Amino acid sequence: MQLTPDLQKQLIETAIQVRQWSYAPYSKYRVGASLLTASGKIYDGANIENAVYPLGLCAERVTLFKAVSEGERDFTAMVIATENAGMPCGSCRQVMAEFGLTMRVIIVDATGKIHHESTVADLLPGAFTPKDLI
């Protein structure tokens, strides 16, 4: 599915909206993400922290895992919304790379202003992908 201006706007609004569902009692850093699949479906998710810090999960991975758990494997674009347009961590970039290097990644702040737009390949140069296992 092509990322049209209307779909991009919808993804941005969704990512901002789902920040409210974030469970971030420790960092207070609320993150929301929305994901457009090639089939046209939109998934969303928020970050979930844990008192045992490594057990938390970033919004980007929550969103991707929700989509994958429902059979999706082909993704067009992801929008990530934080208060200050923070970039995705390395773990999230690696999970994105698992499903394709051409997916668009758009980073916005809490007002919806776009601060960064690229592909997964641009975010993770030299990514280790399934083809490297052969």
Please spell the DSSP secondary structure of 12-66, one letter per residue. HHHHHHHGGG-B-TTT----EEEEEETTS-EEEEE-B--SSGGG-B-HHHHHHHH
**From the candidates 49, 60, 70, 98, which is the catalytic residue?**
60
* Residue 60 is a catalytic residue: yes
- CA 12-38-59 angle, 5° bins: 45
What are the catalytic residues?
60
